[in-house]
Amino acid sequence: MAIEIAPEQEIWVLTGEGAELTGYSQEYLEKMANKNWRLLEDDRLIKTRKRRGRYALGLPDLLRYIEEIGNGPQGPLKR
């Protein structure tokens, strides 16, 4: 990825901002954040906060997840 952030920095992005930065869809990131939010804090792969019904993701964790674990953004489904 072209974005380089030191892991010790605490940068939070909303799912829409994360979608713009990573190329993933906002819906995918919202579902991932929702599943992540239900886990215990120590078990989460990505730091997650919930504010006013919206999810914020820790950007360094999100970028690490995409590099190491993610499958890559999916294009529109073909019919």
Q: What are phi and psi of 30, to 5 degrees?
A: -65, -40
Is the model's pLDDT at 1 over the cut of 60?
no
Q: Where are the domains of the chain?
A: 12-68
- The predicted pLDDT at position 44 comes to 92
pLDDT tens digits, one per residue of 13-69: 999 999 999 889 999 999 999 999 999 999 998 999 998 889 999 999 999 988 888
Query: Which pTM does this prediction carry?
Result: 0.76
Q: b or e along 39-60 (b: 16 or more beta carbons within 10 Å of the residue's beta carbon)?
A: eeeeebebbbeeeeeebbbbbb
Local confidence band at 77 (pLDDT 50, 70, 90 cut-offs): low
